[in-house]
Structure 1
Amino acid sequence: MTDSNNVVSIQGLQREPRENKRGASLPAPVVAVREKARSLLAEQVKLLFAKVDDSLFAMAEKAHGQEEQDGLFQALRLLRVERRKVVDQFADNVARAFLVRDSSEDGREDLYSADNLSLVHNDDLEQLVAVDTMVANAKRDFAEPLTEISLRLNTLLSVKIYDKNNPLGPDAICDAFVEASRPLNLHIRARLTLLKKFEQVVMLNLGKIYDQCNDLFVEQGVLPSLKQQRRAARQQQRPAASTSVPHSGAQPAGPAALGGSVTAAGYGLLPVNSGVAPMAAQDLLSHLGALQSHLPGSYSDGGIQLLNVNSLLQERLVDVRQSAALTKVDSDIIKLVEMLFSFILEDRNLAEPIKTQLGRLQLPLLKVAIADKSFFSKGGHPARKLLNELADACTGWQAKDNYESDPLFKKVSEVVARVLAEFDQDINVFSLLLESFREFIERERKRAQKLEQRIVDEADGRAKTQAARARVAAVMDALVAERDLPPVVTEWLNKVWSNMLFLSCIKDGTDSESWSRDVRTARDLVWSVHAPMPESRKQLQGLLPALQERLKVGVEAVSLNSFEARRMFAGLKDVYRERFALAQRITEERARLAREEARDEVREQLRDEVLEEVRAASQVAQAEVQEVVELPQMEELEQVVAEVELKVQTAETEAVPENDSYWQQTFRLAQGSWFELKRGGEEQFRCRLAAVIKDIDQFIFVNRNGAKVAEFTRVELAQALRAAQLLPLDDGMLFERALQSVIGTVRKSRGEMH
């Protein structure tokens, strides 16, 4: 299967068929030419599939990895199955293009409009360049027959025919094929190969098809003498034009190429249609290398401006007394790189001095892009990785006084300077510098992480302490609320067992066995002085030895001094002695009552007295029974602790509605994300989310060096986001963000042109 990231998908193209409504209204010569062109182009597309088949098979055999090979073989099978459908759809699209709309209509649907093109990573950029290149070449190579077709169509149709809406123009034919192949889920290499073969088999042979279409128009009597008229007009214009050619014989550059300026003595950068040979890639690289070597080593406080490469090349060619034109591909690459660096120099993630340094890489990266066409599509390209690494490391960097001496700024400046000095055409320079820079950053991050970890640990410790005290207090309140405990028991709970619970909570948490054991000990201690007597005497006798051992463990754990411990154990012993004495008295009274009841003569005398005494004892026992019943069970104590945890986490949430977008955003913030924090009037700085302290819902922010600069509760954070006091910085690698911005600009411009 192919990787979805390597598949270019053009979606949403559903043109409304209008053949039935408007096909019959076309003039007979147009219909004849339409059918002729449809037949000829369909035959050419059939031929290209055989060539694509051979190419894909050879590519699959030489594929670098299993994933790529699988993708190419899958594309090979798919094209064999779907080729007839693609040919038929292409032919229909060619015919449909003759239903021309004028500029007053809602605009021709464009394959590359912002609504119709789904861009996946960088693959679409290669397709855009491929399509643009073949269209531009065809317009250049077949300008004359295309013009004749446009003029003839203009005499037959009520719609004005121009470059973009010519149904036989390279735009329309290329769009027809791209749309026909749109549903094919192809690996990017397979799709680009398909486009390349379309260019070789169809687009490069359009001249023959145009000639046949013009001949058919002549047979139909449509402007039969047009060619002779145009030839005569050119002959009349040629003498006048020849007088404007400089003495050197070089062609003058047009305004489009030179921004309205005129080259000195005919030297400089000339238009592609001026007749001068396009500059070879190696020559272009040499000129760019010369320009790179003359870039200044440092820049003024105003920072670097985006380089106008065409102007620099113009000056360079004039200096060396040469004239040359740029190929369409090279011209496009220059524009793309300029757009990339325009984004980089405007990126708010980076401080101005850093952007100044990164801007100096424009010419080196332009050289990389011209020499290696995979630069835009290969995410792991060393030059791209170096740029991304530099930008990522500098995201939180701020320019303070004497920033030139800052270690990070000095290292970035050193890397950039070495690229300018050492890079010619060997991209290994980028790999070596990347490795060196990563080692530097790793050392810097380790130093910052030590400070950051201390800050986070301190905040986490405070949060755990706060939460633990709240949970211990909840357990104690549940055990002693509205209970009249002996003072020594209260002292045990306050001095020993609350501290014991606190230690268990901090060390092991409330889900641990040690926490449950210590909570049970506290409950057993309270029960031991409220158990009904004499009914609980045996149970209490069995509990006391184990309870005493657990209390001794607690005394040692909280480091209670021995004097206090002996006093408190003695006091507790006195309480238990009184409890057992009470049980003994009640038992004896009950026995005496039984004996007296056996004596009839005494029973009446003593009844009232004995009954009163037994009633008093029973009331004491009954009161203690009632209190034991009310003592919370372990499950209830666990619930109390859970409610406290929930209360700690949601203490302030009532101030913000649950569906508030900024409140919801606080749950999606990733640890390590960078922000711009504004305080006071104009004070602002960059910070990173270092940690979220869950116990108290606290967010800790640090600067690049690991020092804490801010902390927010969740409610405070939501309010800061709402007030734009805290602004998230863009995620993702700089080059990829820049490339996506460029792609969006290309889509928009193509949509506006069409």
Structure 2
Amino acid sequence: MKDTDSVAPTVASNVVSMRGAQSEPGQSRRSGSVTLPPPVVAVRDKAKALLMDHAKQVFAKVDDSLFAMAEKAHGQEEQDGLFQALRLLRVERRRLVERFADALEQGFQVREISADEEDPYSADNLSLVHNDDLEQLVAVDTMVANAKRDFAEPLTEITLRLNTLLSVKIYDKNNPLGPDAICDAFVEASRALDLHIRARLTLLKKFEQMVMLNLGKVYQQCNDLFIEQGVLPSLKQQRRAARQQRPAPRPQQPAGSASAAQGDSQAGAYAGHGLMPLGSGAAPMAPQDLLSHLGALQSHLPESYGDGEVQLLNVNSMLQERLVEVRQSAALAKMDSDIIKLVEMLFSFILEDRNLAEPIKSQLGRLQLPLLKVAIADKSFFSKGGHPARKLLNELADACTGWQAKDNYEKDPLYKKIGEVVARVLAEFDQDINIFSTLLESFREFIERERKRAQRLEQRIVDEADGKAKTKAARARVAAVMDALMAERDLPPVVSEWLEKVWANMLFLTCIKEGTESESWSRDVRTARDLVWSVHAPMPESRKQLLGLLPTLQGRLKAGVEAVSLNSFEARRMFAGLKEIYRERFALAQRLLEERSRQVEQEARAMAAEAASQAPIKDEAESAPQTPVREEPAEPVVELPQMEELEQAVAEVELQPDAVIREEIAETDTHWQQTFRLAQGSWFELKRGEEEQFRCRLAAVIKDIDQFIFVNRNGAKVAEFTRAELAIALRKGELMSMDDGMLFERALQSVIGTVRQSRGEMR
């Protein structure tokens, strides 16, 4: 990631003290509080005020970083988590600073620490880490180690002065102003916050920048205050004089020689050379010396290493052989030992990852020593998601996700390119990490060319499938409209011909080009309905409305004739047929009107004659037979579906061809629901029978017909499923989703899970 403050995400969210809490949560560090001497109280209050001021600045910085990270988040879940953390930190910042201050004050109730507690996170006890993320553990260890190194002198003076005032022996682990205690206090204060892991790691990063890097100023003011209080006021001068009077070191003798054995009683206890246990008396190896030895091991790897099955390197064993070879003895510092074990665990995961083919694992396994050197030299390797070495490893693995080893795979362009990149790392990487950025840029250019070639083929396949789906969907939707208008209706043949030859095709074209949500579609559906209505409208009641409709209808029909390229002879014949129908319709309307007019006149004359006649004449007239008036039979009223009903009919069109298969799986089935969550571009393993098994990528989901298209690395189609078929394949294990996410982050997550499992088994 581009943001240097961002860190790689893991899955853990519960964080406890990373340096080994001195007591269980909720318990006092001592059975009773201790009354502190006035100078210690003054220094405690001064340090607490200074550290609180620095801690308050943490939240202004972390607020900006989290907002920027949320805007660049890869998914909705991650973005929601970062925004939630942002809001929570804004609300809780005051209480968090107060808890930090309380923890700092409580730290001055110093107690002795037993030998068992001295180094709870040594390499041998790595599996006993409680709920800590290893990324966070490394990040905190790094900031503490850096502070001890950078502020060793003022911290030593504080330790010596506290030792003159307190009854408890003060040293690194229980010094209330030591980097361990200060960092532990902040982690303890923030432990209760339910933060997204990336937000928590960013919070720690800002704490390092705003608090831990400013400890020198805090220590200086604390020592000045001690001097004002009269506590060892000449300590600095005494220590300077002691250093000046210290005898010069003896010339270094070859390890194992007689003079060396006589000059150092502890070192003389070892008869040979090699890697010694920490605390055995052998000096811890300086980081630069360790890097030099690892570089020598890297350069002496056999040329055949990586050509076949790669075994995980046992770095401790290799270092032992190396030290024996150069006749040296040394121990590994705790931090370096932890890093060696952590890198081994990471590469153990890589070499077992089912996402990668065996030849690719062999190539990537060759990077164990170079990446170990990176981790030793740059402690941000585990906490900095954008580290170039991590990005290169992730990019190599991502490009190979769908790669399969076929016959003569050694000639495959991708395999050859991976081999070239790894070979250059082994040959050229010493301590300059810029080589990883250079190789990453070159590899991305290669992959981009490969992907463009595959995308061209893939796009043709998707376009073809999409075109077929749209065609199928359009025909089904047009049929729904036609059925609704024509079903159980006695239409004149020429009108049926208009609907089937012209207007069905017109609707099809509109559906393909503009879709059923467009105004053009609604207009063309209305035209079809108007055409049917025009030959069924009751007469003479609809005569005036029909007269107003016909000019517009004729214009729309002419446009349809042109759109579907109907030949002119057919068009003239069909228009003539319609003209004849409308002539008959208006003639019928005219006859009905005349009959009604005559009937009205007869009724009027009869009423007049009745009024003028005498009663006897009336009776005689009533008894005389009446001549009936012949009337045209009234046309039956035919109900047509409204536009809303036609739109509903189109929306309810069933396009899935697997209705029988669909009955086999319920909507509540987890595999059916999983099909709605599959992301385009995801990789799968597909099994067809016992022998055939290959990897494929979800290239597209054709929504019109719910069809899923899968392709291989080269963009060629290898499978297609309807949604129901896909759900059943997932349920049967014929199609298995491959792990998403970047390789390094998945490896780190796996290591964390292994550590937690080990802890659970040892309880």
TM-score (normalised: structure 2): 0.72
Structure 1 CA distance for aligned equivalents of residues 563 and 325 of structure 2: 87
Please name the residue that 2:645 is paired with.
636
Deviation, structure 1 residue 60: 12
Please name the residue that 2:724 is paired with.
715
Alignment of 1:338-737 (within 5 A): 338-596=344-602, 610-611=628-629, 613-614=630-631, 617-619=632-634, 621=635, 623=636, 626-627=637-638, 630-644=639-653, 653-737=662-746
Please name the residue that 2:138 is paired with.
125
Structure 1 CA distance for aligned equivalents of residues 570 and 65 of structure 2: 75
Is the CA contact 2:48–2:104 (under 8 Å) kept in the aligned structure 1? no
Is the CA contact 2:484–2:641 (under 8 Å) kept in the aligned structure 1? yes
Secondary structure of the 2:652 match is helix
Is the CA contact 1:38–1:91 (under 8 Å) kept in the aligned structure 2? no
The superposition leaves residues 566-587 of structure 1 with CA deviations (integer Å, 9 ceiling, x where unpaired) of 2212222222222222223223
Q: Name the aligned partner's letter for residue 122 of structure 1.
A: E
Please name the residue that 1:219 is paired with.
none
Structure 2 CA distance for aligned equivalents of residues 250 and 133 of structure 1: 34
Matched, 1:85 2:107: no
Q: Name the aligned partner's letter for residue 618 of structure 1.
A: P
Is the CA contact 2:305–2:366 (under 8 Å) kept in the aligned structure 1? no
Please name the residue that 2:204 is paired with.
188
Structure 1 CA distance for aligned equivalents of residues 646 and 91 of structure 2: 63
Query: How has the CA–CA distance of structure 1 residues 280 and 176 changed in structure 2, closer, same or farther, with 3 Å as cutoff?
Result: closer
Structure 2 CA distance for aligned equivalents of residues 446 and 357 of structure 1: 25
Deviation, structure 1 residue 729: 1.2
Is the CA contact 2:697–2:710 (under 8 Å) kept in the aligned structure 1? yes
Structure 2 CA distance for aligned equivalents of residues 274 and 73 of structure 1: 49
Secondary structure of the 1:677 match is strand
Is the CA contact 2:339–2:376 (under 8 Å) kept in the aligned structure 1? yes
Please name the residue that 1:292 is paired with.
298
Deviation, structure 1 residue 700: 1.2
Secondary structure of the 2:695 match is strand
Is the CA contact 1:529–1:575 (under 8 Å) kept in the aligned structure 2? yes
Is the CA contact 2:656–2:722 (under 8 Å) kept in the aligned structure 1? no
Deviation, structure 1 residue 539: 2.0
Secondary structure of the 2:633 match is helix
Q: Name the aligned partner's letter for residue 138 of structure 2.
A: L
Structure 2 CA distance for aligned equivalents of residues 180 and 66 of structure 1: 20
Structure 2 CA distance for aligned equivalents of residues 671 and 279 of structure 1: 50
Secondary structure of the 1:401 match is coil
Is the CA contact 1:678–1:726 (under 8 Å) kept in the aligned structure 2? yes
The superposition leaves residues 37-87 of structure 1 with CA deviations (integer Å, 9 ceiling, x where unpaired) of 9999999977865786799899999x9997499999999998975555113
Query: How has the CA–CA distance of structure 1 residues 543 and 80 changed in structure 2, closer, same or farther, with 3 Å as cutoff?
Result: closer
Please name the residue that 1:259 is paired with.
none
Is the CA contact 1:463–1:693 (under 8 Å) kept in the aligned structure 2? yes
Secondary structure of the 1:709 match is strand
The superposition leaves residues 584-639 of structure 1 with CA deviations (integer Å, 9 ceiling, x where unpaired) of 322333334445556669x999987644x31xx233x2x1xx21xx1111121112
Alignment of 1:246-257 (within 5 A): none
Secondary structure of the 1:10 match is coil
Compare 417-426 and 173-182 and name the one that shifted more: 173-182
Structure 2 CA distance for aligned equivalents of residues 248 and 607 of structure 1: 156
Alignment of 1:183-332 (within 5 A): 183-184=189-190, 187-189=203-205, 191=207, 266-299=272-305, 302-332=308-338
Structure 2 CA distance for aligned equivalents of residues 399 and 358 of structure 1: 15
Q: Name the aligned partner's letter for residue 723 of structure 1.
A: K
Structure 2 CA distance for aligned equivalents of residues 747 and 198 of structure 1: 33
Q: Name the aligned partner's letter for residue 534 of structure 1.
A: P
TM-score (normalised: structure 1): 0.73
Structure 2 CA distance for aligned equivalents of residues 315 and 692 of structure 1: 57
Matched, 1:738 2:747: yes
Query: How has the CA–CA distance of structure 1 residues 563 and 246 changed in structure 2, closer, same or farther, with 3 Å as cutoff?
Result: same
- Which residue of 15, 39, 42 maps to 1:10? 15
Secondary structure of the 2:351 match is helix
Is the CA contact 1:94–1:176 (under 8 Å) kept in the aligned structure 2? no
Compare 302-311 and 429-438 and name the one that shifted more: 302-311
Q: Name the aligned partner's letter for residue 321 of structure 2.
A: E
Structure 1 CA distance for aligned equivalents of residues 661 and 709 of structure 2: 17
Is the CA contact 1:690–1:701 (under 8 Å) kept in the aligned structure 2? yes
The superposition leaves residues 195-236 of structure 1 with CA deviations (integer Å, 9 ceiling, x where unpaired) of 89999999xxxxxxxxxxxxxxxxxxxxxxxxxxxxxxxxxx
Is the CA contact 1:388–1:733 (under 8 Å) kept in the aligned structure 2? yes
Matched, 1:333 2:349: no
Compare 467-476 and 318-327 and name the one that shifted more: 318-327
Is the CA contact 1:269–1:317 (under 8 Å) kept in the aligned structure 2? yes
Deviation, structure 1 residue 687: 1.1
Structure 2 CA distance for aligned equivalents of residues 649 and 509 of structure 1: 24
Is the CA contact 1:464–1:695 (under 8 Å) kept in the aligned structure 2? yes
Is the CA contact 2:687–2:694 (under 8 Å) kept in the aligned structure 1? yes
Deviation, structure 1 residue 191: 4.7
Deviation, structure 1 residue 16: 7.1
Deviation, structure 1 residue 302: 3.9
Is the CA contact 1:674–1:729 (under 8 Å) kept in the aligned structure 2? yes
What is the root-mean-square deviation in Å for CA atoms of aligned residues? 4.9
Aligned residues: 637
Structure 2 CA distance for aligned equivalents of residues 307 and 560 of structure 1: 77
Query: How has the CA–CA distance of structure 1 residues 686 and 592 changed in structure 2, closer, same or farther, with 3 Å as cutoff?
Result: same
Structure 1 CA distance for aligned equivalents of residues 311 and 504 of structure 2: 67
Deviation, structure 1 residue 659: 2.1
Query: How has the CA–CA distance of structure 1 residues 56 and 279 changed in structure 2, closer, same or farther, with 3 Å as cutoff?
Result: farther
Query: How has the CA–CA distance of structure 1 residues 559 and 41 changed in structure 2, closer, same or farther, with 3 Å as cutoff?
Result: farther
Is the CA contact 1:111–1:175 (under 8 Å) kept in the aligned structure 2? no
Deviation, structure 1 residue 92: 6.7
Compare 374-383 and 176-185 and name the one that shifted more: 176-185
Deviation, structure 1 residue 132: 10
Q: Name the aligned partner's letter for residue 310 of structure 1.
A: N
Q: Name the aligned partner's letter for residue 425 of structure 2.
A: V
Larger relative contact order, structure 1 or 2 (CA cutoff 8 Å, min sep 6):
2
Q: Name the aligned partner's letter for residue 467 of structure 1.
A: A
The superposition leaves residues 132-153 of structure 1 with CA deviations (integer Å, 9 ceiling, x where unpaired) of 9999xxxxxxxxxxxxxxxxxx
